[in-house]
Amino acid sequence: MSDKILVIAETKEGELRNVSFEAIAAARKIKPDGEIVGVVCADDDLENLAQELIYYGADRAVTVKHEKLKSYTSEGFGQAVLAVIDQESPDGIVMGHTSVGKDLSPKLASKLDTGLISDAVDIDVDGDQPVFTRPIYSGKAFEKKVITSGLPFVTIRPNNIAALERDDSLTGDISSVDVDIKDLRTIVKDVVRKTTEGVDLSEAKVVVAGGRGVKSADGFKPLYELADVLGGAVGASRGACDADYCDYSLQIGQTGKVVTPDLYIAVGISGAIQHLAGMSNSKVIVAINKDAEANIFNIADYGIVGDLFEVVPMLIEEFKKVAVS
């Protein structure tokens, strides 16, 4: 019998997050010949989501539907996923290293009495043993880790392990698991949306980040426009957040978010070591800064020394031309 890996998928506003598809690809790396079972929990409309997991490479999918799964709580989703784990007895578990993944995975690992590798960016296999690479010290170094006791359980960082090609000719069984969710000790009473619609900063392929050089909350407006043209998200340095130009939810750095987009455009950011920790592993880095000596130019692939208030509007126009052509 082949090994079975559960992929705990995650939804946001009714849609599957891209990291869930990446998790399927990660499961395939861990067990190339294994059976991948996608798991999705919600309060309704699960068939389509389950089907989508199969199109992205899951061999079959299991759904858990319950009214108490409307919003994520560690207890509600913990009980749901544990019921699936009970039924499936998996040989490994993969999920995204997202707000939900970070919250839920340690609970599951503790219940299952197993090790857990958080925030993996790469997976190799040494014989039969999966070896996980993960950043430490905010990306200033990396470690390779293995699980020595219990089943391989890993959360993967978004944007690092490529999802498999979607193929809607793929088919697989979809089944459901009934679960009796006990009273929850924590309840979500409200969700206040502070992020801009659309692109999620941690999953964005393009990030446009502003620093103190942006000078004001108003100064961020062109950055939003640039991000919009590129289908990206806006981030910020700690300096910009401390100065109240934008919300802390946008902060990238040692404290704040760690992002690894394909393209990172640092605008008016000097490049303090704490900021670099949050973005230095981006694939391509562009720096725009008035100060030619700014540290950010040391790690940028391309730099423009100039006034951001001139450069950014020009960039918007140029990118628009590319988008049209």
Exactly one of 11, 51, 98, 260 binds another protein (CB under 8 A); that residue is 98
| CB of 89 or CB of 148, closer to another protein | 148
Lookup: tokens for 269: 């950011």
Closest distance to another protein from the beta carbon of 47 (Å): 26
Closest by Cα among 29, 30, 34, 7 to 20: 7
Burial (CB count <10 Å: 0-12, 13-18, 19+), residue 250: buried
Closest distance to another protein from the beta carbon of 316 (Å): 10
| CB of 47 or CB of 318, closer to another protein | 318
Query: Residue count at the site for another protein (CB under 8 A)?
Result: 91
Judged by CB under 8 A, the chain residues 220 through 279 that form the site for another protein are 230, 247-251, 254-256, 262-263, 273-274, 277
Cβ 69 vs Cβ 41: under 8 Å: yes
Q: Is 216 in the site for another protein (CB under 8 A)?
A: no
Pairing of strands 129-136, 122-126: antiparallel
| CB of 13 or CB of 178, closer to another protein | 13
d(CA 274, CA 252): 9
| CB of 60 or CB of 145, closer to another protein | 145
Which window, 29-37, 42-50, 131-139, 213-221, contacts another protein (CB under 8 A)? 131-139
Closest by Cα among 120, 57, 106 to 77: 106
Closest distance to another protein from the beta carbon of 151 (Å): 10
d(CA 210, CA 266): 6
Exactly one of 74, 82, 212, 224 binds another protein (CB under 8 A); that residue is 74
Which window, 86-94, 136-144, 164-172, 217-225, contacts another protein (CB under 8 A)? 136-144
Exactly one of 88, 91, 119, 228 binds another protein (CB under 8 A); that residue is 119
Lookup: tokens for 255: 């404290």
Exactly one of 33, 127, 128, 149 binds another protein (CB under 8 A); that residue is 149
Residues 6+ apart with CB under 8 A from 283: 260, 261, 262, 263
Question: Rg for the chain (alpha carbons), in Å?
Answer: 21
Q: Is 131 in the site for another protein (CB under 8 A)?
A: yes
| CB of 55 or CB of 132, closer to another protein | 132
Cβ 72 vs Cβ 102: under 8 Å: no
Closest distance to another protein from the beta carbon of 59 (Å): 27
Closest distance to another protein from the beta carbon of 127 (Å): 13
In three-state secondary structure terms, 284 is strand
Exactly one of 147, 177, 204, 240 binds another protein (CB under 8 A); that residue is 147
Lookup: tokens for 177: 């698991």
